[in-house]
């Protein structure tokens, strides 16, 4: 029972981390096109998401891996 609760909690933590990462990337991308005149691009967002995700892994956001998010195609 304890193992089940721990597994559910780790997935919930990973999901929350995924949402925060996505919001962060969208915010940064929005600022780029609002303040720097860049064009909005899904490909750029996916590439930035993947790059930032790799950095988050390096600093300890391993809960994303538990969700199976090793790399986002871009």
State pLDDT tens for residues 25-74: 999 999 999 999 999 999 999 999 999 888 888 887 777 666 665 544 44
Range(s) of the domain holding residue 12 = 2-66
Residue 6 lies in a domain: yes
Q: Does some domain include residue 43?
A: yes
Q: Is residue 74 part of a domain?
A: no
Counted domains in the chain: 1
Residue 9 covered by a domain: yes
pTM for the full predicted model = 0.69
Residue 71 lies in a domain: no
Q: Could you tell me if residue 62 is inside a domain?
A: yes
Say if 54 falls within a structural domain.
yes
pLDDT tens by residue, 29-40? 999 999 999 999
What 3 state SS string does the chain have?
Answer: CHHHHHHHHHHHHHHHHHHHHHHHHHHHHHHHHHHCCCCCCHHHHHHHHHHHHHHHHHCCCCHHHHCCCCCCCC
């Amino acid at each position: 029972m304890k193992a089940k609760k721990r597994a559910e909690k780790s997935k919930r933590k990973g999901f929350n981390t995924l949402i925060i990462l996505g919001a962060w990337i969208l915010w940064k991308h929005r600022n780029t096109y609002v303040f720097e005149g860049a064009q909005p691009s899904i490909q750029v967002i996916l590439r930035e998401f993947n790059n930032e995700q790799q950095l988050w892994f390096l600093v300890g956001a391993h809960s994303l891996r538990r969700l199976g998010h090793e790399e986002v195609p871009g």
